[in-house]
């Protein structure tokens, strides 16, 4: 019954996804959306009835999902009925799968000697599955909250005001070439706003030959421009900006932050500053946009991978006043910044951390989706990884510093709404999606080792057709991610695929940041060389992704080992899941080599000398990587040894005889079938009259019936359960919760 419920919900989720990705369907008018939802439910009911051979039951599942969808409508006003149906059916299928997985774990038959190991191993997998599916649902909610609304929510209009407050544009920089900064400062000199200053803040650049030309440029641009060089100065970027703010004239009311590589449009301040007429507005954020990317496939994918956050995540947060202040191309009220005590130098994403404290003081954030400036993206994969490492580590630092403010029932000092707490908590936890992928990779590698060695892994026993469910979660989670990319940015399939591969390429980097953030509360700020001397660019590219390549090789070897040692339906599904993990990690060498193929224009040559391109900044200690790397290479070595020493004639761990496909029954996956054709629940292992003495398989008179066996029957006589670790049903590489 539970499996059939799960199957019905999963089928509905699949059909709803296929309907939603059709252009115009998910935002159709109410009547059209209702008709589409009815068609989806009817189609899902028919398919469920065909698979389960229970028409009345399938109709009941459809009615239950319809009632759930209608009940959720008042909670998610503005959503189309099709979007609600997709969310409810996906949630139901996830929950039912977890219930099924937990039930199998609790009621599986094990010997007392293995009981503790089974329970511990099973508990780890269940916890991992709950975390993975929770992350998948959070991504699905964000996507539907933006794409599934019948009408997009417009940002609040600024209050009318005759006052134009004085604004300072701060340009933080470290070790930036004057050729790059010149374009930024000249563009700022053309701002169409009467009362503004520009403050260039150089943070700890050691070489006077680098920072003094910028100081001279500020003098040439006139009295609106000032230059501040701080060396040595504590607190890194946050400390430097705090000191620069302290030195501002007292009549400056609004501070804008612009990175040193951005070209800002003249109307930036006129479009954003009027929102501060509302005294409750603490900050205004516009998208971080980029230039000089159209000519290269890799750069197009990188650009659109950045855009996801500002096209999907930020609008979803804006619906509940839970946006993040992202620093560049954002403005903050000076009095509010003073009220929260300035930028926090103990967090490397000081901008996002400040926005949490601002919202906690009762102020609002305004997100304007129109871009007013364009910067440059890292040109090397090594630089991109360092940038993403900082972002991920900063998100985890926010969670460590403010978790009491975000979790329910804990004492709260900040006055956040429940929705704001939920968005910030989920946004921080989403960084762990890549760590979950690494955990699933290790679990699947362990399964592969056990299979190659003809052993049995004592964990949750799920086999047969049930394994198709996590595979469906994965495939359609990826499909929804590609749909979100294409729908939000009007991308081609090729560019959407490139963006997805960039996410995947950074998965291992984010995993290392997760480990670093959990083990160490503070980050050290280390400078890294731009390129190793004496090493070719291609060798450098492969070197920067050697760890990911090793993980991918282990995953490929594991999938091959499972198929060679115990070919069958179950091992094929597990091998496909493991091959997907390999594909994720192989995206790193792809991105590394693709970045080396970028055509170097004069502008890009200048940018290659910038610390922003090389990702110089906060870094974790290399020893932090030793823990997961040691586990990965130990798994690789274990696979080689197990595969080389296992006897090919031994018993098959998944109950599939040599040369047999062994496709399990879709209707009753947890049961075997007796010679009489009546299902016998396998967990009870009840001996049937047709069973032969222990250890000897019985012979079925019908080729379509599987023999029932005694509790001590040989593994080749009945399907033994295999361990499965289902990956996250959404794109494992998180789409950068905080920039």
Task: Determine contact, residues 25/61, Cβ cutoff 8 Å.
Answer: no
Task: Determine contact, residues 545/592, Cβ cutoff 8 Å.
Answer: yes
Give the distance, in angstroms, between the CA of residue 382 and the centroid of all CA atoms in the same chain. 20
Residue 154 has pLDDT above 90, yes or no: no
pLDDT for 80 equals 95
- pLDDT, one tens digit per residue, over 326-352 is 999 999 999 999 999 999 999 999 999
- pLDDT, one tens digit per residue, over 644-700 is 555 444 444 444 333 333 333 333 444 434 434 444 444 443 344 443 444 444 444
Classify residue 527 as exposed, middle or buried by CB count within 10 Å of its CB (0-12, 13-18, 19+).
middle
Of the candidates 128, 154, 180, which is a domain's last residue? 154
pLDDT for 689 equals 40
Mean pLDDT of 235-258: 95
Host domain of residue 39 = 1-154
**Does residue 711 belong to any structural domain of this protein?**
no
Collapsing DSSP to helix, strand or coil, 284 comes out as strand
Which H or E run contains 59? helix 55-72
Mean pLDDT of 66-79: 94
Same domain assignment for residues 448 and 502: yes
3-state secondary structure 476-530: HHHHHHHHHHHHHHCCCHHHHHHHHHHHHHCHHHHHHHHHHHHHCCCCEEECCCC
Residue 177 has pLDDT above 70, yes or no: yes
pLDDT for 619 equals 45
Mean pLDDT of 468-482: 86
**Does residue 301 belong to any structural domain of this protein?**
yes
Which range of 267-281, 445-459, 488-502, 540-554 scores highest in mean pLDDT? It is: 267-281
Same domain assignment for residues 61 and 198: no
Same domain assignment for residues 79 and 223: no
Same domain assignment for residues 150 and 201: no
Mean pLDDT of 369-391: 92
Of the candidates 377, 405, 421, which is a domain's last residue? 377
pLDDT for 532 equals 42
Mean pLDDT of 365-371: 95
Matching residue, tokens 């374009």: 183
Average pLDDT, the chain: 81
pLDDT for 126 equals 76
**Does residue 289 belong to any structural domain of this protein?**
yes
**Does residue 392 belong to any structural domain of this protein?**
no
**Does residue 402 belong to any structural domain of this protein?**
no
Look at the chain and count its residues: 739
Same domain assignment for residues 298 and 438: no
pLDDT band at residue 423 using 50, 70 and 90 as cut-offs: very high
3-state secondary structure 482-496: HHHHHHHHCCCHHHH
pLDDT band at residue 157 using 50, 70 and 90 as cut-offs: confident
pLDDT for 454 equals 60
pLDDT band at residue 642 using 50, 70 and 90 as cut-offs: low
Residue 239 has pLDDT above 80, yes or no: yes
Burial string for 104-132 (b: 16+ CB within 10 Å, else e) reads bbeebeeeeeeeeebbebbeebbebbebb
Mean pLDDT of 539-566: 86
d(CA 211, CA 174) in angstroms, rounded, equals 9
**Does residue 194 belong to any structural domain of this protein?**
yes
Residue 374 has pLDDT above 90, yes or no: yes
* Tokens encoding 321: 């006043």
* Rounded (10°) CA dihedral 340, 341, 343, 345: -130
pLDDT for 473 equals 84
Same domain assignment for residues 71 and 194: no
**Count of the separate structural domains present in the chain:** 3
Same domain assignment for residues 146 and 190: no
Mean pLDDT of 435-444: 87
Matching residue, tokens 């090493």: 535
Same domain assignment for residues 181 and 275: yes
> Beta-carbon neighbour count of residue 135 at 10 Å?
24
pLDDT for 105 equals 67
Give the distance, in angstroms, between the CA of residue 611 and the centroid of all CA atoms in the same chain. 26
- 75 or 692, greater pLDDT: 75
Residue 738 has pLDDT above 70, yes or no: no
Task: Determine contact, residues 288/313, Cβ cutoff 8 Å.
Answer: no
Collapsing DSSP to helix, strand or coil, 270 comes out as helix
Q: pTM here?
A: 0.83
Same domain assignment for residues 595 and 650: yes
CATH number of the domain that residue 287 is part of: 3.90.550.10
pLDDT band at residue 528 using 50, 70 and 90 as cut-offs: very low
Read off the DSSP letter of residue 683. G
pLDDT for 623 equals 46
pLDDT for 169 equals 98
Angle at 129 between CA 124 and CA 132, to 5 degrees: 125
pLDDT for 146 equals 94
d(CA 211, CA 173) in angstroms, rounded, equals 9
**Does residue 713 belong to any structural domain of this protein?**
no
Which H or E run contains 434? helix 433-452
d(CA 87, CA 79) in angstroms, rounded, equals 11
pLDDT for 668 equals 41
**Does residue 330 belong to any structural domain of this protein?**
yes
Residue 283 has pLDDT above 90, yes or no: yes
The side-by-side arrangement of strands in the sheet containing 364-367 is 225-230, 196-203, 166-173, 252-257, 330-333, 281-285, 364-367
- pLDDT, one tens digit per residue, over 86-120 is 999 999 999 998 888 777 766 665 556 555 655 66
pLDDT for 574 equals 84
d(CA 489, CA 546) in angstroms, rounded, equals 32
Give 681's contacts (C-beta < 8 A, 6+ positions apart).
Answer: 670, 671
Residue 322 has pLDDT above 70, yes or no: yes
Same domain assignment for residues 233 and 87: no
- pLDDT, one tens digit per residue, over 11-32 is 999 999 999 999 989 999 999 9
d(CA 79, CA 640) in angstroms, rounded, equals 52
Of the candidates 134, 154, 174, which is a domain's last residue? 154
What percentage of the chain carries pLDDT values higher than 90?
54
- 502 or 462, greater pLDDT: 502
Best CA proximity match to 602, nearest among 207, 183, 318: 183
Same domain assignment for residues 361 and 461: no
Q: Give the least confident one: 464-468, 513-517, 729-733.
A: 729-733
Q: Give the least confident one: 123-132, 373-382, 456-465, 524-533.
A: 524-533
pLDDT for 489 equals 80
Residue 630 has pLDDT above 50, yes or no: yes
Same domain assignment for residues 244 and 349: yes
């Amino acid at each position: 019954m539970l499996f059939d419920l799960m199957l019905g919900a999963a089928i509905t989720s699949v059909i709803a996804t296929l309907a939603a990705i059709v252009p115009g369907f998910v935002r159709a008018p109410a009547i059209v959306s209702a008709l589409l939802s009815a068609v989806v439910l009817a189609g899902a009911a028919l398919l469920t009835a065909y698979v389960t051979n229970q028409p009345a039951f399938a109709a009941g599942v459809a009615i239950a999902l319809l009632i759930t969808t209608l009940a959720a409508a008042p909670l998610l006003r503005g959503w189309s009925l099709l979007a609600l149906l997709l969310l409810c059916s996906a949630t139901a299928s996830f929950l039912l799968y977890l219930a099924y997985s937990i039930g199998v774990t609790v009621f599986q038959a094990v010997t007392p000697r293995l009981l503790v190991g089974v329970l511990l191993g099973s508990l780890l997998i269940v916890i991992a599955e709950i975390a993975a599916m929770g992350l998948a649902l959070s991504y699905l909610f964000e996507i539907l909250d933006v794409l599934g609304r019948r009408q997009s929510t417009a940002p609040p209009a600024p209050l009318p005001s005759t006052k134009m407050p004085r604004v300072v544009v701060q340009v933080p920089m470290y070790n930036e070439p004057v050729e790059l900064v010149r374009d930024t400062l000249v563009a700022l000199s053309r701002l169409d706003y009467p009362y503004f200053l520009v403050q260039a803040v150089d943070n700890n650049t050691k070489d006077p030959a680098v920072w003094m030309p910028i100081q001279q440029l500020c003098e040439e641009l006139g009295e609106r421009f000032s230059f501040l060089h701080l060396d040595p100065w504590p607190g890194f970027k946050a400390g430097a900006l705090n000191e620069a703010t302290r030195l501002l004239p007292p009549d400056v009311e609004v501070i804008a932050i612009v990175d040193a590589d951005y070209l800002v449009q003249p109307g930036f301040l006129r479009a954003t500053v009027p929102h501060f007429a509302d005294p409750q507005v603490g900050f205004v954020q516009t998208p971080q946009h980029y230039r000089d990317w159209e000519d290269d496939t890799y750069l197009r994918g990188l650009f659109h991978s950045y855009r996801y956050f500002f096209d999907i995540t930020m609008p979803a947060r804006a619906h509940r006043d839970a946006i993040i202040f992202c620093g560049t191309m954002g403005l903050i009220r000076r009095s509010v910044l003073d009220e929260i005590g300035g930028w926090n130098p103990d967090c490397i994403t000081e901008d996002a951390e400040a926005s949490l404290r601002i919202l906690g003081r009762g102020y609002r954030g305004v997100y304007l989706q129109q871009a007013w400036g364009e910067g440059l993206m890292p040109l090397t994969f090594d630089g991109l990884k360092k940038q993403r490492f900082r972002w991920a580590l900063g998100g985890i630092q926010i969670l460590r510093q403010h978790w009491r403010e975000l979790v329910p029932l804990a004492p709260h000092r900040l006055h956040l709404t429940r929705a704001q707490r939920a968005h910030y908590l989920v946004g921080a936890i989403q960084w762990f999606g890549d760590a979950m992928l690494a955990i699933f990779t290790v679990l699947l590698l362990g399964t592969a080792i056990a299979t190659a060695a003809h052993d049995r892994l004592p964990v949750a026993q799920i086999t047969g057709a049930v394994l198709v469910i996590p595979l469906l979660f994965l495939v359609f989670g990826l499909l929804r991610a590609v749909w979100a990319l294409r729908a939000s940015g009007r991308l081609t399939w090729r560019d959407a695929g490139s963006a997805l591969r960039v996410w995947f390429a950074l998965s291992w980097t984010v995993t290392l940041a997760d480990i670093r953030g959990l083990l160490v509360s503070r980050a050290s700020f280390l400078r890294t060389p731009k390129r190793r001397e004496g090493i070719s660019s291609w060798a450098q590219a492969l070197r920067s992704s050697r760890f990911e390549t090793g993980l991918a090789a282990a995953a490929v070897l594991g999938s091959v080992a499972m198929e060679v040692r115990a070919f069958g339906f179950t091992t094929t599904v597990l091998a496909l899941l493991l091959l997907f993990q390999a594909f994720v990690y192989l995206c790193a060498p792809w991105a590394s080599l693709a970045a080396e193929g970028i055509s170097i224009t004069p502008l890009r040559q200048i940018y290659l000398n910038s610390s922003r391109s090389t990702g110089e900044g906060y870094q974790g200690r290399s020893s932090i990587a030793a823990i997961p790397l040691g586990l990965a290479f130990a798994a690789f070595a274990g696979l080689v040894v197990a595969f080389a020493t296992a006897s090919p004639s031994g018993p098959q761990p998944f109950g599939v005889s040599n040369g047999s496909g062994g496709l399990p029954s879709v209707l009753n996956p947890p049961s075997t079938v007796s010679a009489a054709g009546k299902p016998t629940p396998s967990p009870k292992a009840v001996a049937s009259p047709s069973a032969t003495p222990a250890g000897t398989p019985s012979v079925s008179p019908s080729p379509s019936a599987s023999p029932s066996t005694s509790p001590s029957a040989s593994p080749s006589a009945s399907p033994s359960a295999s361990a499965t670790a289902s990956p996250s049903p959404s794109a494992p590489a998180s789409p950068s919760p905080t920039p």
